[in-house]
Structure 1
Amino acid sequence: MNGDAETDPQAAIDAAASDRDERVYEHGAGDEQEGIPFVGAGPGDPRLLTVAGRELLSDADLVVHAGSLVNSELLAEYCADAETVSSIGKDLEELIPLMRDAHERGETVVRLHSGDPAIYGAALEQMDALEHEGVPTYIVPGVTSAFAASATLRTQLTLNEVANHVAFTRPQGETLDEDEDHISEFVGMGDVTTCIYLGTHAVSETMDRLLDDGHDPETPVAAVYHASWPDEDVIEGTIETIGEKLEAAGYRASAMVVVGDAVGGEEYERSFLYGEWASGGGGGDGGDSQEADD
C-alpha cells in the first residue's frame, strides 16, 4: 500500500469482519506470528514483562509505546536498539500510518501497551485499522495491574468461601455513563473481588455512592499505587475511609483499587484442591482437583 494513502480508522472499525478470523484456529497466544505484535508490557517492573514480549522488543526496529504508563527502565533495558515513539497525544489517524509505513519499509514494529492489551487497552481499534490497510497484527498478553496488586497484597483475588468471582471494572465519568457503572452491583454480590481501573481520581465519589447504596462501610478496600513500580505505595482502608486516605496521599491516577473481603486474605476456608478430593477420597469425581486456580 502507498505510504501516502489516507487512513480512516473509523471505516476500518465499521468494516471489521463478522466472520471468525481463521488465524484464531491456527495460532496460540504464545506463537510468534506475522505482522505487528501488540505486546503487554506488564504493570511496571521490567521483570514482569513476558519472555515473548522481551524477545519481540529485543528484535524491534520501532517500538510505539504507551508513554509514561510504561516504565522507562523497561524501554532502556529491552528497546536500546530500537527507535521508541510515545503514543500519548497521538490519535489513530497519526498512529496507524506511523506503524503501517514502518512495517511496509520492512522494519520490525512492536506496539507496546501497558499491563495487558485486553484490559482497557483500546488495542482492537488499532489492530482493525492496520488489518484494514493490509498489515497483519496479533496480541501478546501481559500481566495486568490487578494481578500485580494482589501479589503485593499477598492475597488471591479468588479465595475459597470468600470470593468466587472477580470483576474488572471502571467508575462512571466522562467516558462511562451512570447507567454503565456496575461497581455497586458487583460489591453487593458479596463474594466478588472488584478491581477498579482508571478510577483513582474518583475513589471518594465512588465510595460515597457505595455508602448511599447501603453497602457495609467496613468492607475492606486497598489502593495499590504504581503496582510493582519502584515508588509503589499501598493504602488500606474500608469503603468508608479509603477515599479520605487516598486524597491525603495525593494520588489522582495510577492506583489499582481492590474492593472486597479477599483484600486481607482472611477467614477463608481450605480448598478442595489439597483436601480429600486430591486423593480421590471426597465426594464427587474429583474433577475440581484439576482447577489450579482454586
Structure 2
Amino acid sequence: MNVYFIGAGPGDPELITVKGQRLLREADVVIYAGSLVNPALLAFAKQGAAIYNSASMTLDEVIEVMEKAAKSNQTVARVHTGDPSIYGAIKEQMDKLDKLNITYEVIPGVSSFLATAAALKLEYTLPEVSQTVIITRLEGRTPVPEKEKLASLASHNASMCIFLSVHMLDNVTNELINGGYPADTPIAVVQKASWPEQKIIRGTLSDIAAKTKEQSIDRTAMIVVSRCLDSDYALSRLYAPEFGHMYRDAK
C-alpha cells in the first residue's frame, strides 16, 4: 500500500486510532491538513520523514507528492482531521490516485461531532426525544442540494450537528426556526472539541448567536441543536428488567 488516508481525530493527539498512529509513525511522507489537524500529532512522525502542510497546497500539488513517493516505493500518511469521510475532500484525491494506479487505504477516525457529544456529555439519540442524527452544513461557497437546505432538514426536529457554519450562526438559527424548530430549542456551540482550549457555549435558538459573538467564536466549532440537550426522556428498553433478549431473560 502506498497511501493511507488517516482520520487523525478531533484534536486531542490521544484520540487518533492505534492503527492510525502506527501508520503515521511508519510513513516516509506525511501530508497533513495544517489548518485543522493538531500539529502535536506530527511528533509521531519518524525522524527523517518528509512533512507537507496541505493548507498551502493545491490538489495537484498534493497528488504530485503522493505520486513521487509511490514511484520511490515510499509510504504516505495523508492526515485529515476527524474522520476523512465527513467533509474531508478525499474522493477527489482517491479518484486521481485510481487513474495513476496508486494503491491506498482509508483509516477511519473519531469525528468532531462525536468529540462534541463527549464534551457536552450528550447522548444524541434519547428514547422518545430523538432517534435520528443529521450531519450537515449551511450553504456557503460549497452549495447544498435544495432538499438538504437547513430549513427542510429542520422539519424533522431531529438532533442536528452542523459543521463549517459557526461564522454564519445568525443565518443558521433563522433557517432552523423557519424550518420548524421552536425558538426555545436548546443549542450548543463547541469550539475545538477535545483541544486544551475547548470552549462550550449553551443557549437557545433565540440567543445563541449573541452569546457566541461575545466569545468571538467564528471558526473551528460544531453547532448542535437538539432537545436531547435538556429534555425528559424514556429509559432505554435495552436494560429494562421486563425486556428480554437473547442475552437476558425478562424478569
> What's 2:42 paired with?
75
Partners of 2:25 and 2:225 lie apart in 1 by 38
Structure 2: stretches of 5+ with no match in the other structure: none
Q: For 1:85, give the aligned amino acid.
A: Y
Give the CA RMSD over aligned residues: 1.6
Q: For 1:255, give the aligned amino acid.
A: A
Given candidates 93, 107, 110, the residue that maps to 2:77 is 110
Q: CA deviation at 1:100?
A: 1.0
Residue 273 in structure 1 maps to residue 238 in structure 2: yes
Partners of 1:135 and 1:207 lie apart in 2 by 44
User: Which SS does the other structure have where 1:69 is aligned?
Assistant: coil
Partners of 1:277 and 1:125 lie apart in 2 by 47
Query: 206-215 or 196-205, which moves further after superposition?
Result: 206-215
Q: Cα deviations across residues 213-232 of structure 1 (Å, max 9, x unaligned)?
A: 45310001000000001100
> What's 1:3 paired with?
none
Q: CA deviation at 1:212?
A: 3.6
Residue 135 in structure 1 maps to residue 94 in structure 2: no
Structure 1: stretches of 5+ with no match in the other structure: 1-33, 283-294
Contact 1:169/1:195 (8 A) holds in 2: yes
Residue 44 in structure 1 maps to residue 11 in structure 2: yes
Contact 1:187/1:259 (8 A) holds in 2: no
> TM-score under structure 1 normalisation?
0.80
User: Which SS does the other structure have where 2:42 is aligned?
Assistant: helix
Percent of residue pairs bearing the same amino acid type: 38
Q: How many residues align?
A: 246
Q: CA deviation at 1:206?
A: 1.2
Partners of 1:180 and 1:212 lie apart in 2 by 15
Contact 1:171/1:181 (8 A) holds in 2: no
Q: For 1:270, give the aligned amino acid.
A: L
Q: For 1:271, give the aligned amino acid.
A: S
Q: Cα deviations across residues 96-117 of structure 1 (Å, max 9, x unaligned)?
A: 1111111211211110000101
> TM-score under structure 2 normalisation?
0.93
Q: Cα deviations across residues 71-117 of structure 1 (Å, max 9, x unaligned)?
A: 111112x1142221111132221111111111211211110000101
Q: CA deviation at 1:186?
A: 2.8
Partners of 1:197 and 1:39 lie apart in 2 by 20
Q: CA deviation at 1:263?
A: 2.3
Contact 2:186/2:225 (8 A) holds in 1: yes
Partners of 1:238 and 1:215 lie apart in 2 by 10
Contact 1:172/1:181 (8 A) holds in 2: no
User: Which SS does the other structure have where 2:4 is aligned?
Assistant: strand
Q: CA deviation at 1:177?
A: 4.6
Partners of 1:59 and 1:178 lie apart in 2 by 40
Q: For 1:112, give the aligned amino acid.
A: V
Q: Cα deviations across residues 25-47 of structure 1 (Å, max 9, x unaligned)?
A: xxxxxxxxx23110000000001
